[in-house]
Amino acid sequence: MRGETGAHAEPDAGGQLSIGGLSRVTGIPIETLRTWERRYGYPVPGRKPSGHRVYSIASVPRLRRIAEALDHGLRASHVVPVSDADLDRLLETFPVAPAREPESRPNVVTDAALEDLLAAVAVFDAERLTAILRSKWSALGPIDFVTACVAPLVTAVGEAWAAGSMGVHHEHFLSERVSDLLRSFRAPFEERPVGPLVVFATLPGEMHGMGLQMVSLLLVVLGCRILYLGTEVPVQNLVTLGRDMNAEAIAISVSAASKPAMSERWIKQIRAELPRRTTVLVGGAGAPMARPGVDVLGDLEDVPTWARRFVEQWRARRPRG
């Protein structure tokens, strides 16, 4: 029954998803999808020009059928690698389950809530926008607030700008209001006296700092100490500061508006001039492909997993006493 690994490579079929998006539409945890990809060669990722993994929307029906088979008690090793025909035959052996009501997902921001946020941005209603976001912060908690509320809102405003229904002034308004909020939410966590120190910056000419703000909030919540430098930091200053402060990591955000060749050259320089023990973390739509000694995050949903592992490794290295 075991199928060939390449037998499940789907065509693009008109859409691509990040691994976080694939997880949301199939109900399969991100770590499970990664494990299957590593062990069984499925789901099969494609690559953006930046090197970030993306997954065809055509894989969704098969993954949902795999999840259904697992709900019946089958092992992933007996289900994920098999051919579509064998998977169908397996499912036919089980009785049809009664339809279930969809489970409540309080951590997901609804379309209606997103529309409320977009409406506030459209008319520059700072008070309304701030009130909704503060409410979501209280209801969702830090991680879901960033990944399931702020990130979709930023994306939606960018798409509205591209479609012509909003202008660059709307993006600037949103950026200023959200950045102020993220800084205020981050401040209490920055009083933490211990944790691996991470320096945050963008490269020269990179003025987009929203992604940097979101990731810095996630990392400080998950146990890191933060030194936030902001945008357009000269490379040599970043390297010198990283050394002088004994930073455990340098985090760099690269937007789609960056110049890829220049960004790659500067990241290569930073990696070469920092101590090997200092992690170089790069993320954003314009991030280059992974290289030795550089951790590249392809999606915001990847940040919590990376941060937890990073903090655990730092704790393991600390002298006991």
- SS3 label, residue 78: helix
How far is C-alpha 265 from the chain's CA centre?
24
Reported as a pLDDT band with limits 50, 70 and 90, residue 310 is: very high
Q: What is the mean pLDDT of the chain?
A: 84
Q: Which of 17-26, 36-45, 56-65, 233-242 has the highest mean pLDDT?
A: 233-242
Whole-number pLDDT of residue 69:
85
Q: Categorize the per-residue pLDDT at 95 as very low, low, confident or very high, splitting at 50, 70 and 90.
A: low
Looking at residue 109, its pLDDT comes to 64
Q: Band of the pLDDT at 285, cuts 50, 70, 90?
A: confident
Once rounded to an integer, what is the mean pLDDT over residues 223-252?
95
What is the Cα–Cα distance from 241 to 239, expressed in whole angstroms? 6
Domains detected in the chain: 5-92 (1.10.1660.10), 111-187 (1.10.1240.10), 192-317 (3.40.50.280)
Distance, in Å, from the CA atom of 36 to the CA atom of 76, rounded to the nearest integer, reads 8
Amino acid at 2: R
Confidence bin at 179 (pLDDT 50/70/90): very high
Indicate the pLDDT class of residue 287, thresholds 50, 70 and 90: confident
What is the per-residue pLDDT for 11?
Answer: 42
Mean pLDDT (whole number) for 196-220: 94
Percentage of residues in the chain with pLDDT exceeding 90?
45
319 upstream amide cis, omega within 30 of 0: no
pLDDT given at position 114: 87
**Are the beta carbons of 56 and 22 closer than 8 angstroms?**
no
Could you give the maximum distance between any two Cα atoms of the chain, in Å? Answer: 65
Q: Does residue 2 contact residue 81 with C-beta atoms inside 8 Å?
A: yes
Residue 74: is it exposed, middle or buried by C-beta count within 10 angstroms (0-12/13-18/19+)?
middle
Identify the band that residue 15 occupies on the pLDDT scale cut at 50, 70 and 90.
low
Closest CA to 199 of 181, 182, 179, 220: 220
- Cα separation of the two ends of the chain: 54
pLDDT at 127: 94
| H/E segment holding residue 212 | helix 210-221
Q: Please say if the pLDDT value at position 273 is more than 90.
A: yes
**What is the structure's pLDDT at 48?**
73
Q: How far is CA 126 from the centre of its chain?
A: 26
The first and second tokens of residue 284, run together, are 């954003």
In the prediction, which pLDDT does 321 show? 53
pLDDT for the residue numbered 96: 54
Looking at residues 88-108, what average pLDDT do you find? Answer: 58
Point out the least confidently predicted range of 84-93, 212-221, 235-244.
84-93
Conformation bin of residue 180: beta by default, left when phi > 0, alpha when psi is -120 to 50: alpha
pTM for this structure?
0.68
Q: What residues have CB less than 8 Å from 49, skipping those under 6 apart?
A: none
pLDDT digits (tens, 9 = 90+) for 130-174: 999 999 998 888 888 998 899 999 988 988 888 889 999 999 999
